[in-house]
Structure 1
Amino acid sequence: LPVAAWRADLRTAVGEIRETTLPDGTRLWLNTDSAVNLDYDTAHRRLDLLAGEILLETAADPRPLTIHTPAGTAQPLGTLFTVRLEGNHTRVGVRQGRVALYPDQSRDQSAIVEAGHQQAFNSRRVFDVAPLARGSAWERGILMADNRPLGDLLDELARYRVGVIRCDPAVADMEVVGSFPLADTDRVLRGLEATLPITVTRVTPWWVRVAARD
């Protein structure tokens, strides 16, 4: 986590998923290695996402709710949605309702993300909208894969464990189907090795390499 995140109002460690209820009744889930600050007063409700990813199920309240990130602001219009930091970008995925996006340095580049879609933005622009991945369920401790490339799945799995997972490009495009428990990433790796033509090599407890089976 960034240094500022260690002093955050709410944060999670690597591999931890946490649910909490905010003062207005909004439900908040923090994904692995995440941090958020809260700023509530009589006029507004503000969350500052400092690291990682959150899921919000908003409660009815006359005060506007805004989620601030290094790229800009997301403002829900009564909804269930995720906000995730990805380098210099912020990615918003909307499961229900709508969310407005406002890049910090280009407010005229705003966009509204509809339910079933996701959209990334940085401080200057909003990128193309894309369908939301089906069956998103990390808040329940499950990683879903519906013909998901193995390399992409392993990148996501790596967020929930200390160390590194390296995937050989020769197997990175192999498609994976299933649901996997995020609380036991070693079990997931064993399951992938048992069902796919791959070998999982543990160089050290913190360095894992996935390659084609000989």
Structure 2
Amino acid sequence: MKALVKETPAPGLTLREVDVREPGPGEILVKIRAASICGTDLHIWRWDHWAAGRLRPPVITGHEFTGVVEAVGPGVTTPRVGDHVSLESHVVCHTCYQCRTGKGHICQNTRILGVDIDGGFAEYATVPAENAWVNPPDLPWEIAAVLEPFGNAVHTVYAGVGVEGRTVLVTGAGPIGLMAIAVARASGATLVVATDLQPYRLDFAR
């Protein structure tokens, strides 16, 4: 299959042919239909200080993606072959204290698809079945590809005391900030104020 790979510790990415990994126990094979570009992917492409301190090439990049389940590994009952799925990018260990006490969202050993392990800028991706969220089959691929960052926006808006009838300040009108504006409006905020230093982002917010 074709995949976009960070092959060496240097700027850029390489489009190359790689083998498709068959799903093992608890895993699924997804045929990728769409992917979106996160700011993290730009860090990786540029090979800046953050990327140099985090990545261990080679790795297939991309952590915001969607597709169709092509095959399932042993023990997988859901999702099923043919399901349309979006992928959660955080892969947890299930063995640390946090995981064993029901707090896997703060797993000590979290690995991220497309950063620590192979991701979705490819024709296929093999991922844990538990990281797949089944979508309605009529959900457009371009929307399904951004459910992971959209989830960040929803979580942020609902993490506080509630926005109904309140004024909300969104600091930073990047993609997730724009999503947070929409979530806050849909959730009953009376006024949403957005700030940013980039004029083109403020235009998007307007």
Q: TM-score, normalised by structure 1?
A: 0.30
Q: Which has the higher strand share?
A: 1
Q: Which has the higher helix share?
A: 2
Question: Greater relative contact order (Cα 8 A, min sep 6): structure 1 or 2?
Answer: 2
Q: TM-score, normalised by structure 2?
A: 0.31
